[in-house]
Amino acid sequence: MEKLSKRLWSSFLLLGLMGQFAWTIENMYFNVFLYNTITTDPSYIAAMVAASAIAATLATLFMGSLSDRVGKRKIFISGGYILWGLSTMAFGLISIKNAAAWFPALNAVSTAAMMVVVLDCVMTIFGSTANDAAFNAYVTDTTNEKIRGKVESVLAVLPLVSMLIIFGGFDAMTKQGLWSRFFGIFGAAVTLTGIASIFLIKDSAVKAKNEPFLKNLVAGFRPAAVRENPPLYLTLAAFCLFSIAVQIFFPYLIIYMQHYLMIDNYAIVLGVVLILASLISVIGGRFIDRVGKLNFVLPAAAVMFLGLVLMFFVRGAMFVIAAGTVMMGGYMLVTAALSASIRDYTPKDSVGEFQGIRMIFAVMLPMIIGPSIGAAVIKNSGSTYTDLGVVKSVPTPAIFLAAAAALLLIVIPIFILKRRARHENNLGR
């Protein structure tokens, strides 16, 4: 398989982009929504990110194994996207006023904050079923090692395209407090995509598994699975360390630009960064398969490391654009190389069930550890401001330095992987 059909590319792009709209809103705007309309306590943001990560992992683990067992991806993709969009729209109903009306005996602020956390988990379950479990397995099913680097470099750009569209065309709604309209537009788009996918995609040819469901569910946790697939688990470890570094700063990025850098036109700044970083990712992605995915990871990580260090020092909008482009360009290239490697190493007869294992390393652990480190850095920085008599914490540049330090750890698993590869080549395997 050297080329993909136009229909398959269309399904990748449509489902990938619409899924990234929902994930962008969850990863970047739920935090802002919570911070700006309910509470500025960063502990709630860290709790929300951690809880949704656990929900995402459990949903992906369960639904990925179930999709393997029934030999179907389409029903999970289509049904999941429909419910994913509806749950996103429901966020427009949450406010301190509504919380006070619905639960008059409870503290309105705490209740509203917990409603955001709980609904985020519900929304994440649907999203992880549709995107993390079924769509990711579908991409693996319908591609091979020769083209996965190219496919991943395109898919890796979609989060940036999503952020660019949202920042450029819809961020003004959030500044005006039109959160219900904001959530409604993108929730409806995701739901309509789920309906369209019923007619667009064809189920991949996956043979249903007859083993007991519980056995499939826990297969990836068995020591034997680790012994049989050491490159997969080492690559997952590398992705975990990389994602922890990202999650130290990413949930607080917009808040940092709004309240520390005081950049009023931050949407324009981010838009320019995303366009330039997307170009870097697409151009760089052409070389991933040529030079080798593992050989590509550390140079790409070095680019991201440089960008993080620069972000610690820069202040003005133009300097933020320059540093942010380096940071996000490196981020996209590392994501593409590691994601393609994970697909290559995933056992072909257990693609769905291993999506849950991937989520533990790529999402759950990073989104528990990373934001907690970020919150600790923010609280210990002592940077605050007073709004209507309330002292509020503000993210500081130290989150980028902490992320850079965490990113250095990726060298360890990549070094082991490359040493294993050299050893196997010497043995003539």
| Strand, coil or helix: 391 | strand
Token pair 């060298």 is at which residue? 411
| Strand, coil or helix: 226 | helix
Superfamily name and number for 6-203+212-426: MFS general substrate transporter like domains (1.20.1250.20)
pLDDT at 142: 83
Rounded CA separation 52/66 (Å): 21
**Tens digits of pLDDT across the chain (429 residues):** 567 788 888 999 999 999 999 989 987 788 888 888 888 777 788 788 788 888 888 888 888 888 877 788 899 999 999 999 999 999 989 888 888 899 988 888 889 988 988 999 999 999 999 998 889 888 888 887 777 777 877 887 888 788 888 988 898 898 888 999 999 999 999 999 999 999 998 877 666 666 666 666 666 677 777 788 888 999 999 999 999 999 999 888 888 898 889 888 887 898 888 889 888 887 887 777 778 888 899 999 999 999 999 999 999 899 999 999 999 999 989 998 898 888 888 877 666 667 778 888 988 889 889 988 998 898 887 766 555 455 567 889 999 999 999 999 999 999 999 888 777 666 555
Token pair 């250095």 is at which residue? 408
pLDDT at 192: 97
Q: What is the CA radius of gyration of the chain?
A: 21
CA 14, distance to chain mean position in Å, is 17
pLDDT at 224: 77
pLDDT at 175: 86
Residue 210 φ/ψ, nearest 5 degrees? -100, -5
Per-domain boundaries in the chain: 6-203+212-426
